Amino acid sequence: MGRFLGKAANFLAVWGGKAQKAAPDDPNPRFIHYLNCIWPPMDLYFPIAEMSINVLLLLALGGGVGMLSGMFGVGGGFLMTPLLIFIGVPPAVAVGTEANQVVAASVSGALAHWRRGNVDFKMGFILLLGGFLGSSFGVWIFTKLRALGYIDIVISLCFVTFLGIVGGLMVAEGARSWLRSRSSNPAPFKKLHKHTWMHGLPFKMRFRRSKLYISALLPLSIGIFVGILSAIMGVGGGFIMVPAMIYLLGMPTSVVVGTSLFQIIFVTANVTFLQSVNNQTVDVLLALILVISSVVGAQLGTAFGSKLKSEQLRALLGILVLAVGCKVGFDLIVTPAHLFSFAVSGGH
Amino acid sequence: MKIFRHFIILGLLLAPAPAVAFSSSSLVVDLSSNQIEIKTDFTGTNLLLFGAIDRKGDVVVVVRGPLRQEIVRRKERVAGIWINRAAVTFDGVPGYNFVASSRPLSQIASEETLRRLQIGSERLRLKPVGLADESLAAEFRTGLIDLKKREALYSGKPGQVSIRSAKLFRADLKFPSNVPTGSYTAEIYHFDSGKPVSVSRTKLSVQKAGVEAAIYNYAHEHSALYGIVAILIALFAGWLGGVIFRKA
């Protein structure tokens, strides 16, 4: 009891700014310092990242991102990778480890969707084929760029571009549907299928679950494209794959998330494997902690998300995605505080 | 064990100072430990260095970590964004450089002497690989030292060696959590009126141990298997998470 009171007093004192202030070189955000007053600091040394990180900070990050991914149905890799880099994890390790974490996150989500029959396996396999080709090529590009020293800038530019586009589209659509519901006009009539040049492509295939009859080349090329990005950026690619499936392929929304998650498992597993072999940048210990916290967070997020309207959700996610994109973009433009940096040397 | 250590100290006393032969002044030094093990709970560590000098003077402690090649890049603005452009490779860069002294270095010895003994981060002889332009190399060298200082790998301030009654001295050696693994040397100099009168060297090693070493070695020696195991763990964790929360 006395110990508890002591801790509580310490906690209050720190809130009041009177007691043991965080050291100026302490990399942890302030709230972690407050948390450490009631919970002893727990730093773990991560063997591949080669640094020690506060476990509470990691659990908070994993839980927070997991909650968002549960709410919005995205993997969360696009948020987690920049956050990991932000707390000082070497970018290459952040990307490799995040791919490993997304494997676990998408297995958990895909199983839930599979139970409800929301996975188009045929479509999934073709996307997957493309994904394998794309991600293998992506890891090759990653290794080349890393040797040239351009990897960090390419990761940043990819994030700015894709977060900007996807976030902008989501916010725009959320705003439009919000305005529509305000003016209480009925939604404009949408044709089930528009015929474009895409439907003239060869190798047509029937996708029963998605109610589509389209060329297999379309999902294949989307798979390749997202595979390349997922290898370079260390993300599952859900936030690009999902809009592509809805808007480019015209798949029904109900099967999109499940199918996307299904193929993300395999693509990120491939990335994990290739990153381990080529770059040794997958930290299993770091991935495990992120997995545990994000699985718990995702369940909380799912429960919370079901209380919000879908257009609200989409607009919120759009704002979030845009904000992350802006932060990464801002860092590219603003004169950095330190111009010099170390490159990872080849042989050591 | 204690007696054994005394013998070592006695050995040090009797042995002629290796490599750098100075005058007959004697200097006795020991470390609280010669090995740092990086385990799961490693957040950096301190070692105590202590010893005695037989006459008045100053003590300077220099600890250097494993030498390696480092590539330093500089960001330049291209089309409005900052991109890594120019790069200079340096050979023989210590991964760790700690300097502690009983007084400010400039009061202990001349710049020339300090430079000859490479005491102080700024005085390390870092050689650029295949680059003629000395002014560019100097700029990148300053950048490198600055980076290492920010990573807390190059450190040390005057006054970190305390001397008691002009005989006994001690210094706390700080090793941050990102300390590189490998073998280190601690050099202890005894200066008297600007001249190094005695030097002593001790080796210490920093190694990953336990789980940390196992994971790191596995990742580098069996990288394919490591990748597969990483995937299996993730698959299992994802499945387990789904099962637990479905029932809850």
Mean predicted confidence (pLDDT) in A312-322: 80
Would you tell me which residues 52-111 of chain A have a C-beta closer than 8 angstroms to some C-beta of chain B?
52, 100-101, 103-108, 111
Report the gap between the CA of B128 and the closest CA in chain A (Å).
14
Question: pLDDT category, A37, cuts 50, 70, 90?
Answer: low
Q: Which residues contact B134 (CB under 8 A, 6 or more apart)?
A: none
Which tokens hold the place of B79? 């089309």
pLDDT tens for each residue of B191-206? 988 888 889 999 999 9
pLDDT band at residue A346 under the 50/70/90 scheme: very low
pLDDT score of A308 more than 70 = yes
For residue range A64-78, list pLDDT tens digits in order: 888 877 777 666 777
pLDDT reading at A280 higher than 70: yes
Task: State residue B224's pLDDT score.
Answer: 92
- Read off the pLDDT band of A224 (50, 70, 90): very high
Q: What is the mean pLDDT of residues A114-139?
A: 87
Angle between helix axes A151-183 and A77-86 (nearest 10 degrees) is 130
Distance in angstroms between the alpha carbons of the first and the last residue of chain B:
58
pLDDT band at A283 (very low <50, low <70, confident <90, very high): very high
| Cβ density class B22-45: b for 16+ within 10 Å, e for less | beebbbbbbbeeeebebebebebb
A310 three-class SS: helix
Which DSSP string corresponds to B13-46?
Answer: HHSPPSSS---S--EEEEES-SEEEE-TT---EE
Nearest to B242 by CA among A254, A73, A285, A299: A299
Contacts of B136 (CB under 8 A, 6+ apart): B86, B88
- pLDDT at A5 > cutoff 60: no
CB-CB under 8 Å, A44 with B82:
no
Which pLDDT score, from 0 to 100, does residue A34 have?
Answer: 63
For chain A, domain boundaries: 1-41, 42-189+205-333
Give the phi and the psi of residue B41 in degrees, each rounded to 5.
-95, 15
Please give the structure tokens belonging to residue A180. Answer: 């529509």
Looking at the complex, does the CB of residue A289 fall below 8 Å from at least one CB of chain B?
Answer: no
pLDDT at B170: 92
Which chain A residues are within 8 Å of B73, Cβ to Cβ?
149, 340-343
Q: Distance, in angstroms, between B161 CA and closest chain A CA?
A: 23
pLDDT tens across A265-275, in order? 888 888 889 88
Contacts of B158 (CB under 8 A, 6+ apart): B100, B101, B102, B103, B104, B105
Please report residues of B whose CB lies closer than 8 A to that of A45. Answer: 38-43, 177, 212
Q: What is the pLDDT of residues A148-195, one digit of tens each?
A: 777 777 888 888 888 888 888 888 887 887 787 776 555 555 555 556
CA angle B188, B193, B196 (to 5 degrees): 30
Split at pLDDT 50, 70, 90, the class of A20 is very low
* pLDDT above 90: residue A1: no
Confidence of residue A11 (pLDDT cuts 50, 70, 90): very low
Greatest extent of chain A over all pairs of C-alpha atoms, in Å: 77
Q: What are the residue ranges in chain B where pLDDT is below 70?
A: 1-25, 131-132, 247-248
CB contact under 8 A, A100 and B234: yes
Tell me, what's the pLDDT at B205?
Answer: 92
Token pair 């090529």: residue? A137
Distance, first Cα to last Cα, chain A: 52
pLDDT at B98: 93
Structure tokens at A279: 């770059």
Min distance A67 CA to chain B CA atoms (Å):
14
Do residue A107 and residue B220 have CB atoms under 8 angstroms apart? no
Report the distance separating Cα A157 and Cα A82, nearest Å: 12
User: To probe the interface with A, which of B41, B42, B82, B181 has the most A CB atoms within 10 Å?
Assistant: B82
Kindly state the average pLDDT of the residues A44-73: 84
Whether pLDDT at A27 is above 70: no
Among all chains, which residue has been given the structure tokens 């000082």? Answer: A88
Question: Measuring CA to CA, how many Å separate B194 from each of A161, A253, B21, B41, B107?
Answer: 60, 80, 16, 43, 8
- Residue appearing with tokens 């295949």: B130
- pLDDT the model gives residue A75: 67
**Is the pLDDT score of A213 beyond 50?**
yes
Burial class (CB in 10 A: 0-12, 13-18, 19+), A196: exposed
Average pLDDT over residues A29-36: 60
Could you tell me the two tokens for A46? 């991560």
CA distance B144 to B150: 10
Q: ipTM surpassing 0.95, yes or no?
A: no
Burial state string for B179-189 with b = 16 or more CB within 10 A and e = fewer than 16: bbbbebebbbb
Query: d(Cα A285, Cα B40) in Å, to the nearest integer?
Result: 10
Mean pLDDT score across all residues of chain A: 77
- pLDDT at residue number A87: 82
User: Between the ranges A16-25, A112-121, B160-169, where is the mean pLDDT highest?
Assistant: B160-169
Determine contact, residues B200/B29, Cβ cutoff 8 Å.
yes
> A121-148 and A217-233 are packed helices; what angle lies between their axes, rounded to 10 degrees?
40
Asked whether the beta carbons of A149 and B84 are under 8 A apart, the reply is: yes
**The one-letter amino acid at B11:** G
Interatomic CA distance for residues A129 and A29, integer angstroms: 42
Contact between A51 and B178 using a beta-carbon 8 Å cutoff: yes
Q: What is the pLDDT of residue A41?
A: 64
Share of chain A above pLDDT 70, in %: 79
Cα separation, A234 vs A78, in Å, equals 8
Give the residue with greater pLDDT, A27 vs B30. Answer: B30
Rounded distance between C-alpha atoms, residue A89 and residue A121, angstroms: 36
What's the confidence (pLDDT) of residue B171?
92
Bigger pLDDT: A42 or B236? B236
